[in-house]
Amino acid sequence: MLTNKRLILAHFWLAFIVFGLALVLGAWQMFVRSPLNTWHFNPEFYYRSVTAHGSAMGYVFPTLIAMGFGYAITEASLEKPLVGRRWAWVGFFLVAIGAVVAMIPVSLGRASVLYTFYPPMIGNPFYYIGVVMVVVGSWIWVALMSINFTIWKRENPGKPVPLAMFANVAGSYLWAWTAVGAALEILFQILPVALGLRSTIDAGLARVFFSWTLHAIVYFWLIPTYIAYYTIFPRAIGGRIYSDAMARIAFILFVVVAMPIGVHHLFADPQVGAGFKFMHSVFTGLVALPTLLTVFTICASAEIASRLCGGRGAFGWIRALPWSNPIMLATALSLVMLGFGGAGGLINMSYQLNTSVHNTQWVTGHFHLIFGGAIVIMYFAIAYDLWPHLTGRASEGFGLMRTQLWLWFIGMIVTTFPWHYVGILGMPRRMAFYDYANPVISPEAFSVVMSAIGGFILLISGTLFLLVLIRGQFSTKGEAGAYRFAIALHMPERIPVALNSFGLWLALMVGLTVVNYGFPIAQLMALSETNVPAVYVGASR
Amino acid sequence: MATETDHGPGEAVAARIERRWATLSIVIVALLVGMAAVIGIHRATMPQARVETADPKTLHLSGEFIESNLGSAVEPDGSVTVRAIGQQYSFTPQCIVVPAETPITIRATSADVVHGFLIEGTNINTMLVPGYVSDLPVRFSAPGEHVMPCQEFCGIGHQGMWGKVKVVDRTAFLNMTAAKRRLTCAD
């Protein structure tokens, strides 16, 4: 029962328009930095483009997907209209306006600091203000999710909250708390300097604050994908979820251990001691648990679906899966990319192996494979699945959808595998170009060309995706019926309070963050001599 | 759905398989963490351990990072200390010379923004954060040349920030030190 279809559609459309624009920038970057480009260009354009690409893909696109999908989940799973519709629109416009406010100075070249900010480099204040507006807009969504969750629980005492809504609320809480790190960095460190109120900044402390956001934000991006794995995929292929309780445990684990692990991004940094680096490494190991549990549950759910429609044998059931179904295909391709990306992630987080790949192209390859690959391909699947329910029009063109999904998968593999390889060779990331005539660098040239070709394939796939969505807006009218989520094989009638509420888990989330971040932050705040002069970027000063 | 929910043996079997998988997952994670702990403690392989500071405003005036003190120096115990700084958009010294088969301590910092310090073909890789000193023990096994790019975005000249490391034979290095207190291969 989706009543606020326009609200949800607005979120999805804005998200995918932003995605399309950022994808064009990404493909251009792949081209200009490769040996395919033999012409001179201003490297500043490259860094401007990376800033725009990163900010759009990291802050705006997934946030809008989580918000739009969250509203859809609220209405469809709780089977009642969203409470706080007006506030939802306020949040939407805050995100939209914030994105524009941030992108104006970036396009003028006055904030080429990349989306990771990198103080003591300081860009135009409006860039940071725009990012803050995006975050504040999303916090309205967090509040609405919490309110709708609480109201439903009060109206349905003792009943288990539907899994999709439980996971959705988990994701919103995770985001609310993880955004605090970057918010502290921007509001108390960067903005005063950008506005000219102060002229020095502690770059080490800023990096610690940012790491608090930087890792868990990935799980915020991941939650809609996992919700789709658990609650869309089994239903779309005619099966059941293997286990409802284990799904809840997986989402709870994300909430609890996603935050106190961010220092694994700072293994090579001088401002955090080895003890806390090790603590964060251990917790990063723990965060592999929910993913391992999920892979098992999803594969088992697929097997249930297959055996229900006649699949047999130890492996024969894989053949009997409905492969022509785009959701089936997207989920399978997503899991393959998650497997490769996850294995790479275990190397990044490793206390020792990290030095071999830190800040090389390996890292770029890693997060494009996980986010751009495993996560975004499920955003496509979510849109394909929801579209007929939102537009009130029939879903057509399964063939085109499959082509698009395959192209995305192939493009992502062709882009990221060579990236991983040159990373092992030591190729640094985020450079506008390389001297391919240098005999030390020339062996990397071929791989960079491969990556660029992958980028073009991704651009074609992204264009096809938008075409499918546009076509969906104009196809023949047809009532898609109520939007449903998958149910579990053994549906629990009663559920432990801990798996139906968040109080304990939020306390643990905050507590563990304080334990793992408290000392490093306090130590750096006590150091006064580490405030260094800001370096203003661009033509604004 | 046609399937009847069967709250009997089926559910018990499902729960048992699931518990086994969860146990296996926990064992995998514990193994990975255990490996890191053993290597870290037993072989002392770990990211840099202490927080040390250096004020970028006065780097050139006093302290260990004044210009005449940058480069490679032999310590009384026979080990070598390399001091370097990164700035937009170069390293000082731009070419570092070190002996093979010798314990070396690299001490480096930044004079302006955040830079990176990566020696290709090795696992020497650290950040240079203004205000803080990066300190890492290294050892090169064989003579040779390596490129040393800055691996962190540091401004519009970032792509041009490449240094060099020359690893020479230990005796050749010691002969060079007879003539000069601080060695580089930049000149």
In tens, the pLDDT along A421-445 reads: 999 999 999 999 999 999 989 999 9
How far, in Å, CA of A165 to CA of A498, rounded? 15
* A389 catalytically annotated: no
pLDDT of residue A299: 94
Q: Where are the alpha helices (DSSP H) in A426-491?
A: 445-474
Question: Is a pLDDT exceeding 60 seen at residue A269?
Answer: yes
Interchain contact B135–A (C-beta under 8 A) = yes
Question: Is a pLDDT exceeding 50 seen at residue A51?
Answer: yes
Kindly state whether residues B19 and B76 are assigned to the same domain.
Answer: no
Q: What's the pLDDT band for A335 if we cut at 50, 70, 90? A: very high
Q: Which chain B residues have a beta carbon less than 8 Å from that of A208?
A: none
* A219 catalytically annotated: yes
* A61 catalytically annotated: no
For chain A, the structural domain boundaries read: 5-536
pLDDT of residue A310: 87
> What is the domain count for chain B?
2
Q: What's the pLDDT band for A31 if we cut at 50, 70, 90? A: very high
Determine whether the interchain pair B121/A426 forms a contact, defined as Cβ–Cβ distance below 8 Å: yes
* Poorest-pLDDT segment among A179-183, A306-310, A478-482, B25-29: A478-482
Determine whether the interchain pair B25/A242 forms a contact, defined as Cβ–Cβ distance below 8 Å: no
Kindly state whether residues B18 and B73 are assigned to the same domain.
Answer: no
Kindly state whether residues B20 and B58 are assigned to the same domain.
Answer: no
Question: What tens digit of pLDDT does each residue of B43-97 get?
Answer: 767 777 788 999 999 998 988 999 999 999 999 999 999 999 999 999 999 999 9
* A366 catalytically annotated: yes
Contact A351, B46 (CB under 8 A): yes
Kindly state whether residues B88 and B7 are assigned to the same domain.
Answer: no
For A436, phi then psi, to 5°, come to -70, -10
In B69-108, the residues whose Cβ lies within 8 Å of chain A are: 88
How far, in Å, CA of A90 to CA of A77, rounded? 23
Kindly state whether residues B61 and B110 are assigned to the same domain.
Answer: yes
Kindly state whether residues B118 and B155 are assigned to the same domain.
Answer: yes
Nearest CB partner across the interface for A273, out of B1, B50, B112: B50
Kindly state whether residues B93 and B137 are assigned to the same domain.
Answer: yes
Question: What tens digit of pLDDT does each residue of A195-229 get?
Answer: 999 999 999 999 999 999 999 999 999 999 999 99
Q: What's the pLDDT band for B126 if we cut at 50, 70, 90? A: very high
pLDDT of residue A39: 86
pLDDT of residue A74: 96
pLDDT of residue B180: 86
Kindly state whether residues B163 and B118 are assigned to the same domain.
Answer: yes
pLDDT of residue A533: 94
pLDDT of residue B100: 95
- From the CA of A455, how many Å to the nearest CA of chain B? 21
Q: What percent of chain B lies above the pLDDT cut of 90?
A: 70
Q: Which residue has the tokens 């917790």?
A: A283
Determine whether the interchain pair B47/A354 forms a contact, defined as Cβ–Cβ distance below 8 Å: yes
Question: What tens digit of pLDDT does each residue of A347-396 get?
Answer: 988 888 888 999 999 999 999 999 999 999 999 999 999 999 999 998 88
* A276 catalytically annotated: no
Question: Is a pLDDT exceeding 80 seen at residue B8?
Answer: no
Contact B40, B46 (CB under 8 A): yes
Superfamily per CATH, domain A5-536: Cytochrome c oxidase-like, subunit I domain (1.20.210.10)
Kindly state whether residues B165 and B139 are assigned to the same domain.
Answer: yes
**Residue B61, domain extent:** 52-179
Residue B185, domain member (yes or no): no
Q: Say what the ipTM of the complex is.
A: 0.91
pLDDT of residue B7: 56
pLDDT of residue A207: 96
Nearest CB partner across the interface for B151, out of A44, A360, A435: A360
* Beta-bridge partners for B138: B104
Q: What's the pLDDT band for A502 if we cut at 50, 70, 90? A: very high
Nearest CB partner across the interface for A268, out of B18, B127, B157: B127
CA distances from A179 to A131, A186, B32 (A): 11, 11, 29
Determine whether the interchain pair B131/A356 forms a contact, defined as Cβ–Cβ distance below 8 Å: no
pLDDT of residue A349: 86
Q: Which amino acid is at A125?
A: P
Kindly state whether residues B56 and B42 are assigned to the same domain.
Answer: no
- From the CA of B124, how many Å to the nearest CA of chain A? 7
* A48 catalytically annotated: no
Length in residues, chain A: 541
Determine whether the interchain pair A293/B25 forms a contact, defined as Cβ–Cβ distance below 8 Å: yes
Kindly state whether residues B42 and B107 are assigned to the same domain.
Answer: no
Name the catalytic one among A398, A429, A433, A456: A429
Identify from A214, A532, A535 which residue to disrupt to test chain B contact, counting B C-beta atoms within 10 A and taking the largest count: A532
Kindly state whether residues B5 and B94 are assigned to the same domain.
Answer: no
Determine whether the interchain pair A351/B156 forms a contact, defined as Cβ–Cβ distance below 8 Å: no
A433 → chain B, closest CA residue: B159
